[in-house]
């Protein structure tokens, strides 16, 4: 694997390899871009099959965090941490504290929070070794569970898409097929049910399905979810689910969900556009989590500030749709352009300051 070639391809500033044999820690911290502020992104704990797979995941996810913060108007850059471990059997206090020491060596260039496989309790251990942690439980002065605001943001993105598709942002009676029913999907579903939307849910875990049944939601198999006639298809599990095999099976007018990196390739985003399916770029509408933790950076956390900023996702989604239609480009390209224009603008201001 050509590391510098891969970093250059994605525009990365820094890639840190972390090893602590005593605790068994093997981790990667990827800092993509700090133009707008310190890189911020969760730490994913996952039993990657190979080190190459872990590095590629960190590079892929960190870049998305830059674009997520940029489109949301935050003063944060993008980064990601990954720990190669099974979160159910290999996660220990020693391992997490060792990771925290590596985060601390970066001197605030990278702020970490939760991601797949990590919890608020894990952040408590990490914070024993570094102050560069956001999203700690509220009793410890943090902003708490990021999935609450993430779910709200996905819901706001859906409503913006609905308004542009059907002339009204009401989701009453709309059929929504949710692939995955973790914490983000659960909070999104609460908003949808309050509007009397009709939900169809799948997940690989029985606990998640039981929670859906308790809410009165219809459960379907993991394969059938793509074939459900619906108004909105909502990917809320892992990435790459929108691809050449699944897109032809969709029967919907909108795709909007909380999962990261839903498009397997850019060509799949172009395919959705050709088919007339309105795609809500994932990093735009699932930005509620990063917005939530941003409300504690440099200030006391305010849930009202976090909610107000998260609700702006509605307006940003509409802006992206208008650009997409005006320039006849897919929505993922319009969102990328919004992020890249902001980054270029701030870089320009910095260059002007240095020239003085």
Average pLDDT of the chain is 94
Return the percentage of the chain with pLDDT > 90, whole number: 82
Q: What is the pLDDT of residue 74?
A: 95
Mean pLDDT confidence for 51-66: 91
Q: With 70 as the cut, is the pLDDT of residue 351 above it?
A: no
pLDDT confidence of residue 71? 96
- In the chain, the percentage of residues whose pLDDT exceeds 70 is 97
Tell me the pLDDT band of 251, cut-offs 50, 70 and 90. very high
Which alpha helices (H) appear in the chain, and where do they start and end? 3-10, 51-71, 93-105, 120-127, 147-166, 183-194, 206-214, 266-274, 282-285, 288-294, 303-311, 313-327, 331-355
Q: Is 7 helix (H, G, I), strand (E, B) or coil?
A: helix
Q: Dihedral of CA 291/208/155/325: which sign?
A: positive
Q: What's the rounded mean pLDDT across residues 181-200?
A: 96
**Confidence (pLDDT) at 2:** 78
Instruction: Supply the pLDDT for residue 174.
Output: 98
Q: Which whole number is the average pLDDT over 326-338?
A: 97
Active site residue ranges = 80
**What's the gap between Cα 263 and its chain centre?**
13
Give yes or no for residue 355 having a pLDDT over 80: no
More confident residue, 338 or 351: 338
What's the pLDDT score for residue 151?
97
DSSP string, 224-289: GGGG---SEEEE-SSS--BSTTTGGG---SEE--S-SS-BSSHHHHHHHHHTTPEE--HHHHTTHH
Over 70: is that where the pLDDT of 193 sits?
yes
**Structural domains in the chain, sorted by start:** 3-64+75-133 (3.40.50.10860), 147-340 (3.40.50.720)
**pLDDT tens digits along 225-248:** 999 999 999 999 978 999 999 999
Q: Following DSSP, what letter does each residue of 21-59 receive, concatenated?
A: TTTTEEEEEEEEE-SSSSEEEEEEEE--SSHHHHHHHHH
Residue 3 — pLDDT band, cuts 50, 70, 90? Answer: confident
**pLDDT at 354 > cutoff 70:** no
pLDDT digits 0-9 by tens, 277-294 = 999 999 999 999 999 999
Q: What is the pLDDT of residue 73?
A: 94
pLDDT digits (tens, 9 = 90+) for 254-264: 999 999 889 99
Which of the residue ranges 41-50, 93-102, 141-150 would you say has the lowest mean pLDDT? 141-150
pTM of the predicted model, to two decimals? Answer: 0.89
Residue 126 backbone phi and psi in degrees, to 5: -60, -40
Residue among 78, 82, 83 at smallest CA distance from 64: 78
CA angle 135, 180, 229 (to 5 degrees): 140
């Amino acid at each position: 694997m050509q590391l510098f070639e891969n970093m250059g391809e994605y525009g990365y500033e820094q890639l840190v390899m972390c090893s602590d044999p005593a605790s068994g820690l093997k981790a990667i911290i990827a800092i993509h871009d700090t133009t707008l502020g310190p890189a911020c992104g969760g730490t994913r704990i996952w039993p990657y099959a190979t080190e190459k797979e872990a590095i590629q995941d960190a590079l892929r996810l960190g870049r998305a965090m830059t674009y997520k913060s940029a489109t949301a108007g935050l003063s944060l850059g993008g980064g990601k941490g990954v720990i190669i471990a099974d979160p159910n059997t290999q996660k220990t206090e020693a391992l997490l504290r060792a990771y925290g020491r590596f985060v601390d060596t970066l001197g605030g260039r990278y702020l970490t929070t939760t991601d797949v496989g990590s919890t608020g309790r894990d952040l408590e251990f990490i914070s024993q070794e570094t102050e560069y942690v956001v999203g700690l439980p509220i009793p410890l002065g943090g902003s708490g569970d990021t999935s609450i605001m993430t779910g709200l943001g996905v819901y706001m993105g859906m409503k913006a898409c609905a308004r542009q598709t059907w002339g009204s942002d009401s989701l009453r009676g709309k059929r929504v097929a949710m692939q995955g029913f973790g914490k983000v999907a659960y909070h999104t579903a609460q908003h949808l049910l309050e509007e009397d939307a009709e939900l169809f849910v799948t997940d690989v875990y029985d606990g998640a399905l039981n929670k859906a049944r308790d809410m009165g939601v219809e459960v379907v198999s993991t394969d059938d979810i793509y074939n459900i006639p619906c108004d909105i298809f909502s990917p809320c599990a892992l990435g790459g689910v929108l691809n050449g095999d699944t897109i032809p099976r969709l029967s919907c007018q909108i795709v909007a969900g909380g999962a990261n990196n839903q498009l397997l390739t850019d060509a799949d985003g172009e395919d959705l556009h050709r088919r007339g399916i309105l795609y809500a770029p994932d990093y735009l509408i699932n930005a509620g989590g990063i917005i939530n933790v941003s409300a504690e950076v440099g200030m006391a956390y305010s849930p009202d500030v976090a909610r107000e900023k998260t609700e702006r996702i509605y307006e940003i989604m509409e802006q992206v749709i208008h650009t997409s239609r005006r320039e006849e480009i897919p929505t993922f390209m319009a969102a990328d352009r919004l992020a890249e224009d902001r980054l270029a603008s701030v870089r320009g201001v910095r260059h002007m300051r240095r020239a003085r």
